[in-house]
Amino acid sequence: MYARQVDDKTLTLFVSGYMSEESLVMQDQETKSYWSQILGEAKAGPLKGKKLEVIPAVLTDWRNWSQRHPEGTVVMLSRITEGFRRELLSSRLGLVLGIVVNNKATAWRFDILAKTPMRNELLGDKPVLVVFDEKSFTARIYERELDGRALRFHLVDNQLTDRETRSTWDAVAGLAVAGPLKGKRLPPLPAMVSSASAWKTFHPNSTVY
């Protein structure tokens, strides 16, 4: 997800109908510039070289989202949603969860995350938590430094738990649900789900786990 404000312009973006290296190409109505979906960068037109601000978002199913956000809204529901989810699940081997921090790209393969659904990682000097919930097909990255302390996580009876306070967490929401940190949230980071081949094309020097 991207913010669509660039300099003093609020852009209206739409699908251009073009593809580039397995990735959708967007176009804005205001300047007719073409934008890379994966990079969030204008590749042609008057705004070439400009970048959209990345906003943390989550790819998940409606049941999972509505349970955690019962007052949330949805743009459109379709009968093809479940079929699309099955297609995603069947193609899991070809997907990654990717992020760029300080111009360094890192990605985690979905098939690896399915086997190790909780990972304490470092992105440079930033401690992060990578989680994957196969039931809802949700993969997320959070900062795991909270109130000036880096938390370390592990699974206790399949429940995400931090070692420092033994609080338990909802992995999909990044929310402490019990223990001393109950009610606290981990800050989400702006990661994206992509095909592995497209990610490597646009980020050829990316580390891939």
The pTM (predicted TM-score) of the whole model is 0.78
pLDDT of residue 207: 94
Contacts of 48-53 with CB under 8 Å at 24 or more apart are 50/6, 50/7, 52/2, 52/3, 52/4, 52/6, 53/2, 53/3, 53/5
pLDDT of residue 80: 47
pLDDT of residue 5: 92
pLDDT of residue 73: 76
**Domains of the chain, each with CATH number or no CATH:** 5-44 (no CATH), 62-208 (2.102.10)
Q: What is the pLDDT of residues 165-189, one digit of tens each?
A: 999 999 999 999 999 999 999 999 9
Task: Give the chain's residues under pLDDT 50.
Answer: 79-81, 84
**154: buried, middle or exposed (CB in 10 Å: 19+, 13-18, 0-12)?**
exposed
pLDDT of residue 93: 59
